[in-house]
Amino acid sequence: MKALVLDSKHPQGVSFQEITLPPLEDHEVRIKVEAAALNHRDEWCRQGNYANLKDGVVLGSDGSGVVTDVGKGVDHSWIGKQIIINPALHWGDEQQAQGLNFRILGMPDHGTFAEFVQVPADRVHSKPDHLSLAEAAALPLAGLTAYRALFYRGGLKQGQNVLVTGIGGGVAQFALQFALAQKANVYVSSSSLKKIDFAKSLGAAGGFIYSDPNWIQEAEKQSGGFDLIIDSAMGDTLSELIDVVRPGGTIVFFGATLGNPAAINVRKIFWKQINLSGTTMGSDRDFEDMVDFVTHHGIKPIVDSVVVFSDTVKAFERMKSGEQMGKLVISLGS
């Protein structure tokens, strides 16, 4: 089958190759991938900026498709069903954190940027009826991360003031949509006025350009401070977030696009009684709750663009440039 694999020797960092998947194990299902979607993780892998990379592995954590085969131990009624894949493999039994065997589909296990993918049967969930296959492919990794960040780690309550930073990001947009559905007052930050305006058109109460040196004062003035901040940039922006979170408030972060902060004013953290909370993807319970929430509220992922499989590298380049507003989807359907 045709697959897009990590290829560190190729100038683009990835290449299309013909590969053969191993025989299906008893607990697995084989899926014909109809659509896949990019996450920043795929781009970090392509750039060689991720742990334990292995050339020849099919990238891609997100996908939707149709089950074509099942292993001996799997219910045959899955065959022919349209599904989405939970890319969090082997989370374990604890809700509070993943176990040692936790992995993410798409490195080191073959992922969804291929005509077929094989996963344990307990990773497949029926596609929500209100979503197309392309929309459904955009949901799993980013939706799961945003859901856990807001509700389990962030304890979001109706009416709270929330700031979602970098609203161009895939996870950030789900955080915006989910927090709005929970009737929070949601503000955003971005490098782009156009993205802020788009967020406002969805219901955001306001937005700030994070490169503007006065954005903290403006945010303070407009919102009165935030009960909850969802961030993946980190770096030295953490100091700004500590300034703009309310006393007793929470900062949940799931990435470090800007790296580690050079310095943190820890006194402000304890004096303001701030909760600094890390999160990564989510448990099986989080995934089920997220899909129920999305279905109940009729939430549709924001899709920036859909490209055909052979143009996947164009989608990577768009993500690298940060131009996208919404998920970058790859169509493999016939």
Ligand X SMILES: NC(=O)c1ccc[n+]([C@@H]2O[C@H](COP(=O)([O-])OP(=O)(O)OC[C@H]3O[C@@H](n4cnc5c(N)ncnc54)[C@H](OP(=O)(O)O)[C@@H]3O)[C@@H](O)[C@H]2O)c1
Binding site for ligand X (CB under 6 A): 39-41, 44, 142, 145, 165-172, 189-192, 195, 210, 232-233, 237, 254-255, 257-258, 280-281, 319, 322
User: CB 278 → ligand X: shortest distance, Å?
Assistant: 8
User: CB 26 → ligand X: shortest distance, Å?
Assistant: 29
Residue number, 79 or 216, with CB nearest to ligand X: 216
Residue number, 74 or 251, with CB nearest to ligand X: 251
Angle (deg, nearest 10), helices 237-244 and 215-223: 20
**Which contacts of 128-132 are long-range, i.e. CB under 8 A and separated by 24 or more positions?**
128/84, 128/291, 128/294, 128/295, 129/295, 130/295, 130/298, 130/300, 131/300, 131/301
Dist CA 294 CA 173 (whole Å): 13
User: CB 236 → ligand X: shortest distance, Å?
Assistant: 9
User: CB 210 → ligand X: shortest distance, Å?
Assistant: 5
Residue number, 325 or 332, with CB nearest to ligand X: 325
Beta strands 103-104 and 116-120, pairing class: unpaired
User: CB 154 → ligand X: shortest distance, Å?
Assistant: 14
User: CB 186 → ligand X: shortest distance, Å?
Assistant: 14
- Within the chain, where are the H helices? 40-46, 133-137, 140-147, 170-181, 193-202, 215-223, 237-244, 266-271, 284-297, 312-321
Residue number, 29 or 89, with CB nearest to ligand X: 89
Residue number, 28 or 240, with CB nearest to ligand X: 240
Residue number, 212 or 292, with CB nearest to ligand X: 212
Contact present, 42 and 12 (Cβ < 8 Å): no
* Tokens 């589909």 sit on residue: 105
229 residue type, one letter: I
